[in-house]
């Protein structure tokens, strides 16, 4: 028997059966499974036909899980067994609205014989076949097999109850808990109690107990997790732990970037959350670039999203007070700051990306950081940063335990200020491209003459906020810093036009004379204005000279 795939190909039916619906034993359905779809056709007249004529075709690429279970609960003489498949297809909610993921559950009762065991075997056969085929579908992305999280996945899910409008926990309860259960993801919920709780937690955690570390918050909580991992003695292994992000804050730029990379049209708020939840359940892992950022006071930190100075950083910080409006806080903040536009004097220098991009590519997706470090040591003067300690701890994770209880996860460490290192051996990969901050940049760098700026924005993912596609050409691990700066002299109207165009990623097409865009691998900023704000990933840095370089693919992110 054959089915017809959406692209017109004929697909072989691998399983076919007739089952009753749960809750209505009179309604019978013919169910067919191909490599790509599950087709459900009503075959009795007692169930309402609806607009679809009683036929539903669900793509297995939209399926997150399927399970079988016995009936007969509550002492009834039910010999039937059940299987339920969970789909999150893209649907339009109402006319003209964007397509977003919506949950569809298909549940059937297998009761062909009176033997409960045989019925359960049949239900399990279906559940397994659906799971296997939906797993196969996800590997076909771009025809390239991707890596994926270990299965069954034991996930630590850290939720910041204060992020955004303070709704992250409510959103977890209303959307994410059920979705993870549908997908069979074992997860332990950790509710952060303070700033740096997550950072301290992952710095000390036994990572062999976790297959993925996921945050549900804004970008700030992932910043904590990444820095916590890179502060560990076993940083080289720790930073390979698959990370995930669910948008629950007001600054959900990485979540918007992941959604964008999936090729889907833009979404915001709960629709973006459902999309990211779906991608998380798919469990495909991709390398992600990180930036190592140096400050004059010594401590180094790691960033996954953006480094900003001037207008963008000001908006980020000043819009904190509009947090109650959620992601719209940036729009409000932009308008307020436009009204009193500031100019900053400073010096910018960068290493253009065109040079040696291949031979100098860092870390090989984090897989050969030690080799890369060796070859870099031969090639360039020794890095000024103290972080050249390859980790001896490459032990395999042990995999016997299931999830910890929440209690054992409560951190009780001393609070550290956000960007300050506790006193311990330096960790993280060496920065071969950066001279000490107090020495001149190498000759192959471009130095922008000291001048007046409105903003400097370095992006290494596509989105600056849910609705700001700041670096449309960025990909997760292109090994590039997409550097933008806007020179003083731009009018308020032109700057507003830039930000409006950025919603569609069209700001470069405005041909604004004051906007410069270039791709770089390292940069240095020396602000000369006495006051100002510099942010990384939306978090405030100490104000002063700063330099950074990209480490291609150092982290691993669940992207679906």
Catalytic residue numbers? 219
Residues 39, 217, 462, 559: which binds ligand ADP (CB under 6 A)?
217
At residue 77, φ and ψ (nearest 5 deg) are: -90, 40
Kindly provide the b/e burial profile for residues 500-513, where b requires at least 16 CB atoms within 10 angstroms of the residue's own CB: ebbeebebbeeebe
d(CA 161, CA 216): 9
Q: Which is nearer to ligand ADP, 464 or 486 (CB)?
A: 464
Residues 192, 292, 334, 547: which binds ligand ADP (CB under 6 A)?
192
At residue 105, φ and ψ (nearest 5 deg) are: -105, 130
Is residue 221 at the binding interface for ligand ADP, with CB under 6 A as the rule? yes
- Burial of 2 by CB count in 10 Å (0-12 exposed, 13-18 middle, 19+ buried)? exposed
Of 551, 520, 549, the C-alpha closest to 362 is: 551
Say if CB 559 and CB 305 are below 8 A apart. Answer: no
Distance from first CA to last CA of the chain, Å, rounded?
A: 32
In residues, how long is the chain?
Answer: 560
Question: CB under 5 to 8 A by kind: which of Mg ion, ligand ADP, none does 271 bind?
Answer: none
Q: In the complex, what is the shortest distance from the CB of residue 514 to Mg ion, in angstroms, rounded to a whole number?
A: 24
Residue list 480-539, contact with ligand ADP (CB under 6 A): 538-539
285 pairs with which residues across the strands?
147, 558
Kindly give, in sequence order, each residue whose CB lies less than 8 Å from that of residue 159, ignoring residues fewer than 6 positions away.
168, 169, 172, 189, 190, 191, 192, 215, 216, 217, 248
Question: CB under 5 to 8 A by kind: which of ligand ADP, Mg ion, none does 384 bind?
Answer: none
Q: Which is nearer to ligand ADP, 148 or 219 (CB)?
A: 219
Is residue 287 at the binding interface for ligand ADP, with CB under 6 A as the rule? no
Is residue 251 at the binding interface for ligand ADP, with CB under 6 A as the rule? yes
Residues 220, 228, 430, 435: which binds ligand ADP (CB under 6 A)?
220
Of 350, 370, 545, the C-alpha closest to 433 is: 350
Is residue 275 at the binding interface for ligand ADP, with CB under 6 A as the rule? no
Among the listed ranges 110-118, 155-163, 355-363, 516-524, the one in contact with ligand ADP (CB under 6 A) is 155-163
Q: Which is nearer to ligand ADP, 34 or 196 (CB)?
A: 196
Is residue 219 at the binding interface for ligand ADP, with CB under 6 A as the rule? yes
Among the listed ranges 178-186, 246-254, 477-485, 490-498, the one in contact with ligand ADP (CB under 6 A) is 246-254
* CA 539 to chain CA centroid, nearest Å: 18
Tokens of 364: 């090989």
Q: Which is nearer to Mg ion, 200 or 289 (CB)?
A: 289
Question: CB under 5 to 8 A by kind: which of ligand ADP, Mg ion, none does 244 bind?
Answer: none
Is residue 2 at the binding interface for ligand ADP, with CB under 6 A as the rule? no
Q: How many residues bind ligand ADP (CB under 6 A)?
A: 21
Of 128, 358, 155, the C-alpha closest to 242 is: 155
Among the listed ranges 201-209, 218-226, 268-276, 347-355, the one in contact with ligand ADP (CB under 6 A) is 218-226
Is residue 303 at the binding interface for ligand ADP, with CB under 6 A as the rule? no
Q: Which is nearer to Mg ion, 250 or 474 (CB)?
A: 474
Q: Which is nearer to ligand ADP, 163 or 461 (CB)?
A: 163
d(CA 29, CA 368): 53
Residues 20, 100, 250, 474: which binds ligand ADP (CB under 6 A)?
250
Helical (H) or strand (E) element with 522: strand 515-527
Rounded to 5°, the CA angle 173-176-177 comes to: 60
Please tell me whether residue 181 adopts helix, strand or coil conformation: helix
167: left (phi over 0), alpha (psi -120 to 50) or beta: alpha
Q: In the complex, what is the shortest distance from the CB of residue 317 to ligand ADP, in angstroms, rounded to a whole number?
A: 11
Tokens of 555: 């982290």
Q: In the complex, what is the shortest distance from the CB of residue 502 to ligand ADP, in angstroms, rounded to a whole number?
A: 19
Q: In the complex, what is the shortest distance from the CB of residue 258 to ligand ADP, in angstroms, rounded to a whole number?
A: 15
Question: CB under 5 to 8 A by kind: which of Mg ion, ligand ADP, none does 474 bind?
Answer: Mg ion
Is residue 163 at the binding interface for ligand ADP, with CB under 6 A as the rule? yes
Question: CB under 5 to 8 A by kind: which of ligand ADP, Mg ion, none does 219 bind?
Answer: ligand ADP
Residues 162, 241, 303, 319: which binds ligand ADP (CB under 6 A)?
162
527 pairs with which residues across the strands?
346
Is residue 224 at the binding interface for ligand ADP, with CB under 6 A as the rule? yes
d(CA 449, CA 190): 48
β-strand pairing of 154-159 with 186-191: parallel
Q: Which residue has the tokens 């977890």?
A: 172
Question: CB under 5 to 8 A by kind: which of Mg ion, ligand ADP, none does 460 bind?
Answer: Mg ion
Is residue 117 at the binding interface for ligand ADP, with CB under 6 A as the rule? no
Q: Which is nearer to ligand ADP, 197 or 300 (CB)?
A: 197
DSSP string over 35-91: SSEEEEEE-STTS--TTTTTEEEEEGGGEEEEEEEE--GGG-----EEEEEEE--EE
Q: In the complex, what is the shortest distance from the CB of residue 165 to ligand ADP, in angstroms, rounded to a whole number?
A: 8
Name the residue with the smallest CB distance to ligand ADP. Answer: 218
- What number of other Cβ atoms are within 10 A of residue 357's Cβ? 15
Of 549, 551, 509, 553, the C-alpha closest to 352 is: 549
Question: CB under 5 to 8 A by kind: which of ligand ADP, Mg ion, none does 366 bind?
Answer: none
Question: CB under 5 to 8 A by kind: which of ligand ADP, Mg ion, none does 505 bind?
Answer: none
Sign of CA dihedral 95, 171, 66, 153: positive
Judged by the rule CB under 5 A, the positions of this chain that interact with Mg ion are 289, 460, 474, 478
Is residue 218 at the binding interface for ligand ADP, with CB under 6 A as the rule? yes
Q: In the complex, what is the shortest distance from the CB of residue 196 to ligand ADP, in angstroms, rounded to a whole number?
A: 6
Q: In the complex, what is the shortest distance from the CB of residue 54 to Mg ion, in angstroms, rounded to a whole number?
A: 47
Interacting residue ranges for ligand ADP, rule: CB under 6 A: 160-164, 192-195, 197, 217-221, 224, 249-251, 538-539
């Amino acid at each position: 028997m054959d089915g017809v795939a959406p692209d017109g190909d004929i697909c072989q039916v691998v399983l076919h059966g007739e089952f009753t619906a749960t809750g209505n034993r009179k309604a019978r359905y013919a169910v067919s499974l191909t490599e790509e779809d599950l087709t459900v056709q009503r075959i009795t007249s007692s169930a309402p036909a609806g607009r679809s004529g009683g036929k539903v075709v669900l793509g297995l690429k939209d399926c997150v899980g399927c399970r079988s279970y016995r009936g007969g609960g509550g002492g009834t003489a039910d010999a039937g067994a059940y299987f339920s498949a969970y789909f999150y297809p893209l649907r339009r909610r109402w006319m003209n609205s964007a397509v977003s993921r919506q949950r569809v559950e298909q549940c059937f009762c297998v009761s062909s014989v009176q033997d409960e065991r045989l019925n359960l075997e049949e239900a399990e056969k279906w559940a397994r076949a659906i799971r296997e085929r939906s797993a196969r579908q996800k590997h076909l992305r771009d025809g390239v097999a991707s890596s994926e999280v270990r299965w069954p996945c034991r996930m630590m899910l850290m939720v910041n109850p204060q992020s955004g409008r303070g709704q992250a926990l409510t959103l977890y309860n209303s959307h994410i808990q059920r979705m993870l259960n549908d997908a069979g993801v074992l997860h332990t919920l950790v509710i952060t109690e303070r700033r740096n709780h997550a950072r301290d937690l992952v710095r000390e955690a036994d990572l062999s107990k976790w297959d993925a570390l996921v945050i549900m918050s804004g970008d700030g909580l992932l910043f904590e997790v990444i820095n916590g991992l890179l502060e560990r003695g076993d940083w080289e292994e720790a930073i390979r732990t698959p990370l995930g992000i669910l948008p629950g804050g007001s600054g959900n730029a990485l979540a918007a970037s992941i959604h964008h990379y999936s090729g889907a049209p833009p979404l915001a708020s709960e629709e973006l959350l459902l999309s990211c939840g779906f991608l998380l359940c798919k469990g495909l892992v991709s390398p992600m670039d990180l930036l190592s950022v140096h400050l004059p006071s010594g401590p180094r930190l790691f960033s996954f999203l953006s480094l900003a100075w001037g207008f963008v950083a000001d908006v980020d910080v000043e819009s904190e007070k509009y947090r109650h409006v959620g992601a719209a806080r940036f729009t409000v903040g932009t308008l307020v700051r436009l009204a009193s536009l500031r100019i900053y004097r400073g010096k910018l220098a960068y290493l253009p990306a065109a040079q040696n991009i291949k031979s100098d590519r860092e870390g090989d997706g984090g897989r050969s950081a030690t080799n890369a470090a060796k070859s870099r040591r031969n090639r360039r003067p020794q890095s000024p940063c103290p972080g050249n300690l390859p980790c001896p701890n490459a032990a395999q994770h042990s995999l016997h335990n299931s999830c910890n209880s929440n209690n054992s996860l409560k951190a009780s460490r001393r609070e550290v200020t956000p960007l300050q290192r506790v006193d311990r051996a330096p960790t993280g990969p060496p920065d071969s491209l950066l001279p000490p901050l107090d020495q001149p940049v190498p000759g192959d760098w471009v130095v922008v003459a000291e001048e007046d700026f409105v903003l400097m924005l370095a992006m290494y993912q596509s989105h600056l906020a849910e609705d700001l596609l700041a670096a449309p050409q960025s990909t997760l691990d292109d090994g590039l810093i997409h550097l933008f700066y806007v020179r003083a002299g731009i009018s308020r109207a032109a700057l507003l036009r830039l930000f409006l165009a950025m919603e569609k990623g069209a700001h470069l097409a405005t041909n604004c004379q004051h906007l410069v865009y270039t791709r770089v691998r390292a940069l240095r900023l020396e602000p000369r204005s006495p006051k100002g704000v510099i942010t990384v990933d939306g978090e405030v840095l100490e104000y002063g000279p700063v330099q950074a370089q990209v480490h291609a693919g150092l982290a691993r992110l669940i992207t679906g």
